[in-house]
């Protein structure tokens, strides 16, 4: 069975990229034919390591000097430039990355979708989910992924979701609350809903938890709430001026965050660090992970932190409160409460014993988010959807889950 992913930029960073990379690697290890269609290419190789058996197809090469081929005729260059100046009409304006699309990219995406003729097609954002229902062959099993609860989308996108998601074969959600939300939205349709968490591997390495460092990571956008974290940590420093906060990432809010650090005079303790492909290594050298998101559907970074035994202090958003066990392997804080976030950080900073107690449990509890568990869920989805799509083949090619080969 061939499995094709459509993702915005497999060469970039972020939770979705990490999740697609991990899932694609899992499928490749199980002898599936795997292809990733990346709308954008920004570097020579992906930030996260991919199995050599995985094929990557790029729609738009954004690297310097790669926009036009050496032998592209002048008239084609002119047409391409004109289309690139026109706004996207197929990507909803409510999408976080809408400003990165244009009409030229739209047309290239549709052309790529029309070429998908077999197997399973997995899409990663609402607009991609919707495009799959319109332009991918009816013979293909279409599985959309949702990373937000329904109300978290803009009004125009919610209207499209209600109309077009009904044409998907399946929709995966990250949390029970999302499943409940989309069950109501898609009531009466035949779309199968599955809860499939993001998965990670659990490394042998474990954080020693003896460094005076708090870590955070993600895009510098309002949703991630790094402004709230900086405010909370400035209060923390009143009691613990020898601790550091490192925030790994990048994005449009970088200047605003740097200005905030200067205004609070915390520049000797709070550092905005460049994005990294080895965030686990950085986590191993920290003692607490802080998540300050205003909204977070799941939180891939939380399970990554837990995988190295790093305790988390997080706002109790929909996703984190389904992952973190309060006062067992981390702390959940009232959403948006900066004072409480500061108090939670101080509580763990002041007790290495408590950090190690939570960290040990975190490394154990995160085993439910490995592919030993989540991989089985994907195997079940593929088997069930294949039987529903092609009932005439039921029983003729069962998959051995242990070996990952057709028997």
Query: For residue 271, what are the β-bridge partners?
Result: 246
Three-state secondary structure call for residue 216: strand
DSSP codes joined into one string, 309-365: T--EEEE--TTHHHH--BTTTEEEE-TT-HHHHHHHHHHHHT-HHHHHHHHHHHHHH
Give a yes or no: residue 122 inside a domain. Answer: yes
| Token output for 21 | 């990379």
pLDDT tens digits for range 212-249: 999 999 999 999 999 999 999 999 999 999 999 999 99
pLDDT at 233: 98
Q: What percent of the chain has pLDDT over 70?
A: 96
Contact (Cβ atoms closer than 8 angstroms) between residue 137 and residue 119: no
pLDDT at 401: 33
In the block, tokens 């740097």 appear at 258
pLDDT tens digits for range 23-50: 999 999 999 999 999 999 999 999 889 9
How many domains would you assign to the chain?
Answer: 2
pLDDT at 405: 30
- CATH at residue 108: 3.40.50.2000
CA angle at 317 for the pair 129 and 91, rounded to the nearest 5°:
25
- As a whole number of angstroms, the distance between CA 393 and CA 370 comes to 31
pTM for the whole structure: 0.84
Asked whether residue 137 falls in the same domain as residue 236, the answer is no
Residue 234 or residue 405, greater confidence: 234
Contact (Cβ atoms closer than 8 angstroms) between residue 227 and residue 293: no
Q: What is the DSSP letter of 204?
A: S
Asked whether residue 116 falls in the same domain as residue 10, the answer is yes
Give a yes or no: residue 71 inside a domain. Answer: yes
Range of the domain at 55: 2-199+371-406
Contact (Cβ atoms closer than 8 angstroms) between residue 269 and residue 243: yes
The mean pLDDT value of the chain amounts to 92
| Residue 268 scores a pLDDT above 60 | yes
Query: Per mean pLDDT, which range of 41-50, 74-83, 224-233, 283-292 is the poorest?
Result: 74-83
Section 375-393 average pLDDT? 90
Contact (Cβ atoms closer than 8 angstroms) between residue 200 and residue 304: yes
Asked whether residue 376 falls in the same domain as residue 363, the answer is no
Three-state secondary structure call for residue 13: coil
| Residue 68 scores a pLDDT above 80 | no
| Residue 387 scores a pLDDT above 70 | yes
| Residues across the chain | 407
If pLDDT is split at 50, 70 and 90, which confidence band does 201 have?
confident
Asked whether residue 67 falls in the same domain as residue 150, the answer is yes
| Residue 406 scores a pLDDT above 70 | no
pLDDT at 391: 81
| Residue 180 scores a pLDDT above 70 | yes
| Residue 402 scores a pLDDT above 70 | no
Asked whether residue 62 falls in the same domain as residue 152, the answer is yes
CA 407 to chain centre: 33
Three-state secondary structure call for residue 250: strand
Asked whether residue 303 falls in the same domain as residue 156, the answer is no
What does R_g of the chain's alpha carbons equal in angstroms?
22
| Token output for 123 | 């899409």
pLDDT at 112: 97
Asked whether residue 167 falls in the same domain as residue 79, the answer is yes
pLDDT at 149: 81
Section 167-191 average pLDDT? 94
Asked whether residue 383 falls in the same domain as residue 300, the answer is no
If pLDDT is split at 50, 70 and 90, which confidence band does 400 have?
very low
Give a yes or no: residue 278 inside a domain. Answer: yes
Asked whether residue 10 falls in the same domain as residue 142, the answer is yes
pLDDT tens digits for range 138-172: 999 999 999 888 888 999 999 999 999 999 999 99
pLDDT at 395: 58
Give a yes or no: residue 208 inside a domain. Answer: no
Give a yes or no: residue 63 inside a domain. Answer: yes
pLDDT at 390: 83
Count of C-beta atoms within a 10 Å radius of residue 309: 26
Asked whether residue 16 falls in the same domain as residue 116, the answer is yes
Asked whether residue 195 falls in the same domain as residue 236, the answer is no
Give a yes or no: residue 238 inside a domain. Answer: yes
Asked whether residue 356 falls in the same domain as residue 379, the answer is no
| Residue 11 scores a pLDDT above 50 | yes
Bridging pattern class, strands 405-406 and 399-400: antiparallel
pLDDT at 92: 95
CA angle at 96 for the pair 8 and 262, rounded to the nearest 5°:
115
Q: How many helical (H) and strand (E) elements, i.e. helices and strands, does the chain have?
A: 14, 15
Residue 394 or residue 17, greater confidence: 17
Residue 246 or residue 400, greater confidence: 246
């Amino acid at each position: 069975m061939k499995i094709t992913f459509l993702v915005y930029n497999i060469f970039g960073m972020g939770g979705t990229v990490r999740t697609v990379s991990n899932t694609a690697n899992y499928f490749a290890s199980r002898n599936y034919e795997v292809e990733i269609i990346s709308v954008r290419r920004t570097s020579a190789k992906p930030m996260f390591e991919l199995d050599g058996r995985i094929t990557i197809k790029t729609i738009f090469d954004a690297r310097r000097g790669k926009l036009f081929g050496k032998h592209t005729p002048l008239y084609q260059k002119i047409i391409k430039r004109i289309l690139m100046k026109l706004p996207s009409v197929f990507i909803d304006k409510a999408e976080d990355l809408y400003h990165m699309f244009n009409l030229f990219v739209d047309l290239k995406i549709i052309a790529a979708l029309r070429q998908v003729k077999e197997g399973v097609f997995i899409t990663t954002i609402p607009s991609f989910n919707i495009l799959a229902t319109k332009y991918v062959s009816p013979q293909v099993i279409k599985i959309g992924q949702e990373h937000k609860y329904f109300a978290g989308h803009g009004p125009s996108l919610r209207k499209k979701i209600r109309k077009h998601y009904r044409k998907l074969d399946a929709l995966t959600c990250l949390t029970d609350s999302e499943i409940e939300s989309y069950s109501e939205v898609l009531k009466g349709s035949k779309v199968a809903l599955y809860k499939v968490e993001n998965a990670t591997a659990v490394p042998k390495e474990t954080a020693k938890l003896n460094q005076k460092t708090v870590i955070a990571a993600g895009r510098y956008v309002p949703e991630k709430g790094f402004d709230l974290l900086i405010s909370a940590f400035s209060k923390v420093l009143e009691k613990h001026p020898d601790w550091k906060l490192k925030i790994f990432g990048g994005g449009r809010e970088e200047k605003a965050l740097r200005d905030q650090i200067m205004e609070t005079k915390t520049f000797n303790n709070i550092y905005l660090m460049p994005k990294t492909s080895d965030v686990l290594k950085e986590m191993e050298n920290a003692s607490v992970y802080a998540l300050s998101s205003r909204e977070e559907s799941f939180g891939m970074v939380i399970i990554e932190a837990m995988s190295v035994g790093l305790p988390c202090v997080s706002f109790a958003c929909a996703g984190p409160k389904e992952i973190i066990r309060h006062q067992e392997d981390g702390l959940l804080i009232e959403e948006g409460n900066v004072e409480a976030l500061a108090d939670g950080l101080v509580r763990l900073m002041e007790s290495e014993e408590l950090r190690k107690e939570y960290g040990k449990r975190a490394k154990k509890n995160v085993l439910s988010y490995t592919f030993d568990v989540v991989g089985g869920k994907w195997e079940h989805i593929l088997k069930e959807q294949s039987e529903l799509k092609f009932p005439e083949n039921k029983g003729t090619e069962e998959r051995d889950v242990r070996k990952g080969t057709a028997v």
